[in-house]
Amino acid sequence: MTNTFQRFEQRIDRIARKLPGMPHRSVVLTRLFFFVFKNLNDDLNQTLAPFGLNTTSLLALAMLFASEENKLNPSDLSDALISSRTNVTRLVDELVLNGWVERHGCVTDRRRIDLTLTPAGQELIAEVLPPLWRQLLAVWRDFSDDESAGFEHALRKLLRGVERESSR
């Protein structure tokens, strides 16, 4: 465990002593989740930086790559990225500027825009994903198949709890 997280955990222990009834484990697990996410995201962004990408822009390209005809509308991309339409517009502007995505008017609804992954965007995805996969395999190498499956199950259960609470 890193010193940064240990210092956080010591302070949480002090709060728990001052305020009995604090859900200590829930607080620590939540912060641990954020801590792991930030560190993993930062590491992945370092791998992606030489390609002119970050995890969000890569995910946008990957969603387009995985879509029928490499095409999505901005609203669907916003949903996939769990990001506001304003942020997606800024992101798409950058992807278009780099030549990885094109905007086209929708043939069935002229009020809509379709986003299409360009051949350059497809080539970039093919170049970027293998080193990223190697990095992810290295991060997860200490987990057995059963541990990975259990962790996935636990995260899906956590997601259900978060979604249940956010719908209230």
Range of the domain at 7: 1-51
Nearest to 58 by CA among 86, 100, 26: 100
Q: Could you tell me the pTM of the whole model?
A: 0.86
Q: What is the mean pLDDT of residues 83-111?
A: 92
The pLDDT of residue 129 is 95
Identify the residue with better confidence: 166 or 61: 61
Residue 65 lies in a domain: no
Give the C-alpha separation, 159 to 165, whole Å. 10
pLDDT digits (tens, 9 = 90+) for 105-127: 877 878 889 999 999 999 999 99
Give the C-alpha separation, 14 to 9, whole Å. 9
The pLDDT of residue 1 is 57
The residue whose two tokens read 């946008």 is 60
Residue 156 lies in a domain: no
Residue 7 lies in a domain: yes
Residue 2 has pLDDT above 80, yes or no: no
Residue 71 lies in a domain: no
Phi, psi for 111 (deg, rounded to 5): -80, -15
Residue 9 lies in a domain: yes
Nearest to 95 by CA among 53, 44, 42: 53
Question: How many domains are there within the chain?
Answer: 1
3 state SS of 25: helix
The residue whose two tokens read 């829930």 is 26
Residue 25 has pLDDT above 70, yes or no: yes
- In percent, the amount of the chain with pLDDT more than 70 equals 99
Residue 3 has pLDDT above 90, yes or no: no
Residue 27 lies in a domain: yes
8 A C-beta contact, residue 64 and residue 72? yes
Name the H helices within the chain. Answer: 3-18, 24-48, 55-66, 74-81, 85-97, 119-140, 145-166
Q: What is the mean pLDDT of residues 121-140?
A: 96
Q: Give first-to-last CA distance, the chain, whole Å.
A: 35
Residue 32 lies in a domain: yes
Structure tokens at 78: 């916003």
Q: How far is CA 147 from the centre of its chain?
A: 21
Residue 146 lies in a domain: no
